[in-house]
Amino acid sequence: MHDHAASHQSGQFEIHSDPSLCHYAVVKVCGAILDSSLSNRTRVAVQLALHEAVMNAIVHGNRLQSNLPVRVAWHRDGFQVTVEVSDCGAGFSPHDVADPTRPANRIRPGGRGLAMIRHFVDEVSWNEHGNLIALQFRLQDQSADKPPFPESENPQEREFITTQN
């Protein structure tokens, strides 16, 4: 078991804007900030949000120009983790990206990655230029893992959930 209160870690690296390197970036950062006391749900949430942020930087920010770097930096202070992903692109305004969950936008491309990021992180912010995203996570020690689904008020659903485990 880790002593998270004393856990201060930071690091950074750059990758070329090559989609095949996205997995490397996710594995490297997650290996540094995640530990075995976290639930699988938390681990997957961090991995998915980070994957989307890195892939967006590669594809949309640097427009797949492999000579342009994507910079990834992280800092963990106990249960607080911040991961920053930046690119060399022109930037964008996240407020101009259409909400993909609205009926008029469901078949339009774009916005799904940002929607996933917003869903999986505790806080997300961008620099003024729009080419750096900061993902903030409040990790919880979940050694005594919670059930995969919230408790249901419906007794039949509660019975189904417990008999399926």
Measured torsion, CA atoms of residues 6, 35, 136, 145, in degrees rounded to the nearest 10:
-110
pLDDT tens string 97-106:
878 788 877 7
Q: What is the DSSP string of the chain?
A: ---GGG-EEEEEEEEES-GGGHHHHHHHHHHHH--TTS-HHHHHHHHHHHHHHHHHIIIIISTT-TTSEEEEEEEEETTEEEEEEE-SS----GGGS--TTSGGGTTSSS-HHHHHHHHH-SEEEE-TTSSEEEEEEE----SSPPPSSPPPSSHHHHHHHHHH-
pLDDT tier at 49, thresholds 50, 70, 90? very high
Domains contained in the chain, CATH given: 4-164 (3.30.565.10)
| pLDDT given for residue 91 in this prediction | 93
Give the pLDDT of residue 141: 60
Average model confidence (pLDDT) for the chain? 84
Mean pLDDT of 13-33: 97
- Per mean pLDDT, which range of 8-12, 102-106, 126-130, 150-154 is the poorest? 150-154
Share of the chain above pLDDT 90, in %: 62
Q: Are strands 132-138 and 80-86 parallel, antiparallel or unpaired?
A: antiparallel
Least confident of 6-10, 38-42, 55-59, 137-141: 6-10
What digits encode the pLDDT tens for the residues 136-161? 999 976 544 444 444 445 444 444 44
- For the whole model, what pTM was predicted? 0.79
pLDDT at 125 over 60: yes
In whole angstroms, how far apart are CA 140 and each of 17, 80, 97? 32, 9, 31
| 76 vs 159: which has the higher pLDDT | 76
